[in-house]
Amino acid sequence: MKTAFIGLGVMGYPMAGHLKKGGHDVVVYNRNPAKAKQWKDEYGGDTAPTPAEAASKVDIVFCCVGRDSDLRQVTLGENGAFGAMKKGGLFVDHTTASASIARELDAEAQKRGFDFIDAPVSGGQAGAVNGKLGIMCGGSEAAFARAEPVMAVYTKVAKRLGPAGSGQLTKMANQICIAGIVQGMAEAFSLARAAGLDVEAVVEVISKGAAQSWQMDNRYKTMNANEYNHGFAVEWMRKDLAIGLDEGRKQEVSLPMTAMVDQFYAEVENLGGKRWDTSSLFVRQETARKGNKG
């Protein structure tokens, strides 16, 4: 399959690599050309100077950028991919963005004669590197059927949830769950420490019962060691939670826990943790606990 990948961040870089290692022809575009050259040197394939050039000769374009504004720029902006897409082509967007832009781009793609899928991912950098991502998709059944076997090279599970926007809505639910779980762990570990318990021993027991989660399995050791220079950055989680909170307002759904944890993440940023892993809620929790003790 002839493919393009737009956006070579911590997720896109290894995902594009899996496509190439999986036997597909891959041309990449990145805002920083040096990163695109680095990818080419590592995996082969080719680079393009613009999103349009990347999209012009391929069957499927994959994309993973930062925000709605970045996505709009690489699709509809000057030298954007949508202006060069083949009739009957497919654009698969792995960006975590709003449901509204997914619907907007789907409508625009239909006007231009190609398909669009919003396909945000979960699993973090480790999932991207190991090819074990969960992918939540919105779009037509036919478009998903075309995309799924190609995405399989970096996928643990991929599922179509409904029409355009459904993938992004599902990702919002995913991030809300993560925020609540991490805050729960931060509070639990803080209580354990304050009471003189060994956090490692506590987790050994509770992780074998109903409290078990991916976050507990993969983050409790680094949380207990106050190590946060890894994983999914706080600033990106705040971006995702803001999208979810905005959707909650549109749907008239109260999201009090999400709003509270978002503010806790703002406190983490004020502590210097903008780029820390999201598990750094424990820093904020411990700072507050020790402050309360005077």
**pLDDT digit string, tens, across residues 32-88:** 999 999 999 999 999 999 999 999 999 999 999 999 999 999 999 999 999 999 999
Q: Comparing C-alpha atoms, which of 129, 145, 125 is closest to residue 137?
A: 145
Q: Is the CATH number 3.40.50.2000 carried by domain 170-292?
A: no
Encoded amino acid at 50, one letter: T
Does the structure show a pLDDT above 80 at 280? yes
Local structure of residue 89 (DSSP, 8 states):
-
Distance of CA 10 to the CA centre of its chain: 10
- What is the chain's alpha carbon radius of gyration, rounded to the nearest angstrom? 20
| Cα→Cα distances 243→65, 147, 171, 234, 286, Å | 15, 25, 10, 14, 28
The C-alpha atoms of residue 227 and residue 204 are separated, in whole angstroms, by 19
CATH hierarchy code of domain 2-162: 3.40.50.720
2 is catalytic: no
The C-alpha atoms of residue 21 and residue 47 are separated, in whole angstroms, by 16
The C-alpha atoms of residue 175 and residue 232 are separated, in whole angstroms, by 11
pLDDT grade, residue 294 (50/70/90)?
low
Instruction: Dump pLDDT digits (tens) for 2-12.
Output: 999 999 999 99
pLDDT value for 292: 77
pTM of the model: 0.95
The C-alpha atoms of residue 102 and residue 108 are separated, in whole angstroms, by 10
Query: Which residue among 40, 57, 87, 171 is the active-site one?
Result: 171
